[in-house]
Amino acid sequence: MTTERIKELHETRPFRPFVMHLADGRRIRVTHPEAMARRENGRTIYILDSRDYGHHVDLLLVTELVVDHSHRSRKNGNGKH
C-alpha cells in the first residue's frame, strides 16, 4: 500500500469514508478527514475511531484500503447531485 494512495484518500473532497485493513487482521474505519493525522514524510499515521480510541498505524502494515462508495454527500437532501 502506498503512502500516496492514503494521502489521496485523506485529501479527496468531498471526503469518502474508508476502511484501512492491517496485516494483523484489524480494520480501522476513517469516517472524517479530521479523524486522521499524518506527516507528509512520515511512516505512521494516527486515527481516532468512532469510539474515540486512538490508533497509531505503521503504514508498512496497511494491506488494503476500501472506500465506502455508498456514502454520498446530499446537496439537496435526496442524494442526487
Radius of gyration of the chain (CA): 13
Residue 6: predicted pLDDT: 94
Residue 74: predicted pLDDT: 43
Give the position of cell 498505524: 57
Q: What is the pLDDT along the chain (81 residues), one digit of tens a residue?
A: 678 899 999 999 999 999 999 999 999 999 999 999 998 888 999 999 999 999 999 999 999 999 988 755 444 444 443
- Domains, the chain, in order of start with CATH, read 3-67 (2.30.30.100)
Q: Distance between CA atoms of 36 and 51, rounded to whole angstroms?
A: 14
CA within 13 Å, CB half, 5: 13
Q: Distance between CA atoms of 33 and 47, rounded to whole angstroms?
A: 10
Residue 42: predicted pLDDT: 85
